[in-house]
Amino acid sequence: MELIEKHRSHRGYQEVYKHFSLTTNCNMNFAVYSPDESKDCPLLYFLSGITCTEQNFIQKSGFQKFASENQIAVVVPDTSPRGEDIPDNENYKLGCGASFYLNATQDPWSKNYKMYDYITKDLPNLISNNFQFSKSKVGIFGHSMGGGGAIQCALKNDLYKTVSAFSPICSLHKTEFAKEMFDNYLGNNHDQLDLYDPITLIKKSNKKFENIKIDVGLKDEFLKDLYIDDFISECNAVGQNLIINKHEGYDHGYYFINSFIKDHISYHSTILKNI
């Protein structure tokens, strides 16, 4: 790990590190916010949306104040592999910044785009070995592509005890956001896509959370392409409790996240500290 940024923020430090990942076969950046009293504190992972890096959330969301107040650490990975030799595309829905947090199976993407393994295995191991955060009080949340990514990771891994999302993409089968990804990363293999699709997973998962918290703006320009109501219906069918907040006037961007980030940090903190 190489420390490339360190900033005092509220009662803690916002840092950014670079490391080489054997999983993605390239250098990866991740951000970590540590409150001053961080030993054995709860830990959250935040997964960002399409086109983002680790920088968007740490600069625009204002989460540090609330992470400090709740004494909770927050790790923010990049959204994809990056570099001169990393496959990319001019379409913002494909390539760098658009990993969809899955393991690509098709060339040339499969060499580097192993973001599911990076998020759920490589990065947690790195954090566990280099920081003194709790190894059991761990949650995950995200926005848009990362909101759906947080849900699918949480449903498949015992590591995560809490999950929430801002404006998550809930149907990879239906959303326009995922069409190019489906063709290029997974070769249009529906069985492969099922491994990462939140709606499919909620139908099949034996794992239940106390609840799943979702916030979405009703002025979200992508609202119909998120399929949140379909996800709600499937959760109701299988008995998964939800906390759904639909907010008048808010769109898809970081003004929305900034407005409700306090609620998400408090939601995770309250549950994790009682585990």
Positions marked active-site: 144, 220, 252
The dihedral over CA atoms of 199, 200, 205, 211, expressed in degrees to the nearest 10, equals 0
Q: From the CB of residue 214, how many other CB atoms can be counted at a distance below 10 Å?
A: 25
Cβ-Cβ contacts under 8 Å for 134 (sequence gap 6 or more): 40, 41, 42, 43, 272
d(C-alpha 47, C-alpha 102), whole Å: 12
Helix (H, G, I), strand (E, B) or coil at 139: strand
Tell me whether residue 128 is exposed, middle or buried, using C-beta atoms within 10 angstroms of its C-beta: 0 to 12, 13 to 18, 19 or more: middle
Helix (H, G, I), strand (E, B) or coil at 68: helix
d(C-alpha 139, C-alpha 161), whole Å: 5
Cis preceding-peptide flag for 198 (omega within 30 of 0): no
Task: Taking each helix axis as running N to C, give the angle between helix 63-70 and helix 254-272, from 0 to 180 degrees, rounded to the nearest 10.
Answer: 10
**Token pair 């069409």: residue:** 179
CB 115 within 8 A of CB 24: yes
The separation between the first and the last C-alpha atoms of the chain, rounded to the nearest angstrom, is 30
